Amino acid sequence: MRGANFQSLELPIIRGNYIAPPALIREECRRFNMEDRNVASTQKNVLVTGASSGIGRSIAVRLANAGWQVFAGVRSEKSAAELRTLHEAIRPLTLDITDSGQISAAKKIIGEAAGANGLQALVNNAGIAVAAPQEHQPVELVRRIFETNVIGHMAVTQAFLPLIRAGNGRIVFIGSGAGFIALPFFTAYAASKFAIEGVTDSLRRELRPWHIPVINVEPGTIKTPILDKGFREAEGIFSGLPAEARERYDASFQILRQVLDHELQAAPLPESVAVAVQIALDARRPKHRYPVGTEAWLARTLRLLPTRLVDVMIATWHSSIAKK
C-alpha cells in the first residue's frame, strides 16, 4: 500500500469473499493517514520542543538518524550549536514554549522550510519538575510549571496544527507516570502531568474526524538532568523556609531524595523514550499511550487499586528504601 495513489484506484478490491468498492478503500486509507503518501520520496518533518538535553535531544538525534528533518526547539545558542554537531538533519531554532512571540517566529520558519509538505509530527517534550512541600511552594513556581508543562504545549499545538493537517501528521505529548500516580512533594508537577493526560484524551477525540493521531508517551523515572535541576531549585526553596517548616518536612524530603536516587540507578536512558516516540510515529495505527519503563507500567497498575491501599504502599516503599 505504501506509495500507491489510491485516488486513481478504479478496480474493486477483493478481500476474501468480500469485494470492497474503491470509495470505501480510499476512505480506509485516509483513516490510516496513508493516502497519496510516497514515503520514499517525501521528506518527513518533525518539530521537537525541549531538545536541548535529555529526552528531547535523544528524540531529535534518533529521528534525524531515521531520515527525518528535525526542527529542534532550544532556548540558547549554546544548545543550538551543540545540536548542529550531532546531525546535519537537525535544524535548531530558538523556541521557549512560554513565549508567544517565539512560537510565532518558529511557525513562520518551519512553515517556509517545510512548504506544502507541512509537518508529519509534533513532539511536545519541554518540561520542568521541582519538588517542594505544597504548604510552602511559591505560587509563582506553580504557575511556571503549568506554563511550561501544560499551557506551553497547548499553545505550540494550536499554532502548528495547520502544518500538521497539511502534512497528514500526528501529535505526540511526552507525559509521565506521574500523570497516573502522584508522589509527595511533586504536587505541581504531578498536577501538570495529570493535565496532559486530559489534554491528550480530549484533543485526540476532538481531532478524530480528521484522523489526526494524538499520542501520549509516558516514561517513568529516566536518567535525565530534569530531576537534578528540580532538586537544586527545591533545595533553594527549603533553605529559605522558616526553621519550623524545615524541621517539619526535612525528614520526609530527604527520604524522597533517597528514593529517587535509588530509582535513578536502575532507570532507563533517554534513548528508551526516543525509541517509543519513533515507534509511535512509524506505526500505521499508533496506540493512544506508550508507557516507557517498569515504573510507568507500575503507575498505571496502581491506579486500579483502592486509593487507601496505594497510599500505604507508597509510604511503605519509601520507608524501606530509607532504611537501606
Cα–Cα distances in angstroms (integers) from residue 35 to residues 4, 119, 167, 266, in the given order: 8, 16, 11, 43
Give the Cα separation of 257 and 183 in Å (integer).
12
Give the chain's largest Cα–Cα span: 80
Give the Cα separation of 197 and 203 in Å (integer).
10
Instruction: Determine whether 189 is an active site residue.
Output: yes
Q: What is the DSSP string of 240-297?
A: TS-HHHHHHHHHHHHHHHHHHHHHHHHPPPHHHHHHHHHHHHH-SS--SEEEESHHHH
**Mind spelling out the 3-state secondary structure of 180-209?**
CCCCCCCHHHHHHHHHHHHHHHHHHHHHHH
Cα–Cα distances in angstroms (integers) from residue 306 to residues 257, 311, 313, in the given order: 26, 9, 11
Burial of 15: CB neighbours in 10 Å, binned 0-12, 13-18, 19+: exposed
Residues with Cβ within 8 Å of 198's Cβ and at least 6 positions away in sequence, in order, are none
Q: What are phi and psi of 94, to 5 degrees?
A: -70, 120
Cα–Cα distances in angstroms (integers) from residue 151 to residues 56, 99, 142, 202, in the given order: 18, 11, 12, 15
Q: What are phi and psi of 107, to 5 degrees?
A: -60, -40
Active site residue ranges: 189
